[in-house]
Amino acid sequence: MALDEPEDRVVEIDEEDEWQLYASAGYAAIEPSFEEEEAESKEEEVWFDGDDFDLGGKSVNWDAPPCPAPLGIAHVIKLGVCDHCLSRIGGPRISESPSGSAIRSQAYERDIELSTKVLQDICPLCENLFEDVDNIVDRVFESLSGVEFSTMQFGIHLPKDLVQEEDRIRTKYGAPGSNPLKGSIVEAIHNNIRKLERKVDFVKERPDVMVLVDGLTLRVDVDVRPVFLYGRYRKLSREIPQTRWPCRACRGRSEGCESCNGSGLQYVDSVQDLIGEPVKQALDADDTSFHGMGREDIDVRCLGSGRPFVLEIKRPRKRRYPLSDIVKMVNQNGTSKVEVDTLEWCNKSKINNVKQSRSEKSYTIRFRVGEIGKEADIIEAIQSLSGQTIEQETPKRVSHRRAAKIRKRKLVSIENIQVEDQEVQLTLRCEAGTYVKELVHSDDGRTNPSVQSAIGSNCEVIWLDVEEIHAE
């Protein structure tokens, strides 16, 4: 169908004709008739049914059946649809859909002049985005250079107006059930990645890497997902915290200060770094986060089978490493301070399991008594606390980071009470969340009853050990 081109005409008018124009515009008429108003409105009315395409100054303004009807295919070809989009909207959804070039060739055979009637070079459905698939794949693997992965979650962000226009055209002129643009682009990228002979599985949950592409700028954002290790640690030193402790003077600034010798840390070593640094180096990661089942004070050892923890390794370039080798590296790095027996890979859900556990714990504590009485009396007084439920107001030493409230905790058992001169040592098992030091010295009466109130003499804690965490 030939398209009508507007003709440029120059019309010369004289003064009288010019006056007539002004008159018809209402400058000379006092009150135009109803018939004149109706005729004028009909001349100014512009008809539009929402199906017009204004492409390069040309217009397509006819109704066409949807694909795969020959007229429908011819229509979308005239609109400038590319071969990729012609394939997905031009035929029925079958396992082996005809290629866009094959559909186009058949259409050209039916209409030898069809190729001359294409209105534009830019596909109105994808804006030629399919031509950038190879470029996108190259950018993805450039961003993932040096990163080990076997699973990927892929997404693409497309401009809203493009998605809406593509949906409108595809719905009206595409074959029933034809695939939308976003899903088709993602599938094309998936296929190109598979051709690279990279063993990559595309998943929706727990991917090794997450890739998001901006369909407008072709920017590629890559998120290397963390890996997680579960184990138990024994803390053998009374001089290190569980996690990193920022310097009090500089508040952990990267450049540090004189007080922390440029480390930014109040304590150079921590359980987190003594375990995490060897793992970080082995997996070539950026950083680690430490998630423990509770925590112990800096001056408290954790013995027995150790405290359960999950180590989160952030942005690892390697995702697998022999666990036996990691255990050796951790124990060599933490000599006389921290050690682990076994480690195992886990997923993120393990963090919640560790954090939410309310396991009972066994402690050994040694304290000094102000005025010592008879050994038998002291043992009897302390033993009387076994099986009792105590009330503990938030200790003064943690009041700045703990809610002010009274906590009820049960003392399951007290055993192995030893009295030596002015010092007493005992082993106790108690409910999770018990403040054991305060149980002994009472924290100025904030813990009731306490060992101090039971024996009637001031108590001063010398040391405390976590003997066992009774976690399953």
Q: Which residues have a catalytic role annotated? A: 297
Length of the chain: 472
**Two tokens, residue 288:** 């680690």
DSSP string spanning 1-31?
A: -PPPPPPP------HHHHHHHHHHTTSS-SS
Instruction: State how far Cα 12 lies from the chain centre.
Output: 70
Distance (Å, rounded) from C-alpha 166 to C-alpha 169? Answer: 5
Look-up of token digits 């397509």: 60
**Two tokens, residue 225:** 């997902």
Look-up of token digits 């682990």: 340
**Two tokens, residue 161:** 């107006």
Return the number of other C-beta atoms located less than 10 Å from residue 355's C-beta: 12
Distance (Å, rounded) from C-alpha 297 to C-alpha 269? Answer: 14
Q: Name beta bridge partners: 222.
A: 211
298-325 b/e with 16+ CB inside 10 Å = b?
Answer: bebbbbeebbbbbbbbebbeebebeeee
User: SS3 of 464, please?
Assistant: strand
Do residues 229 and 275 make contact, with C-beta atoms less than 8 angstroms apart? no
Distance (Å, rounded) from C-alpha 182 to C-alpha 169? Answer: 15
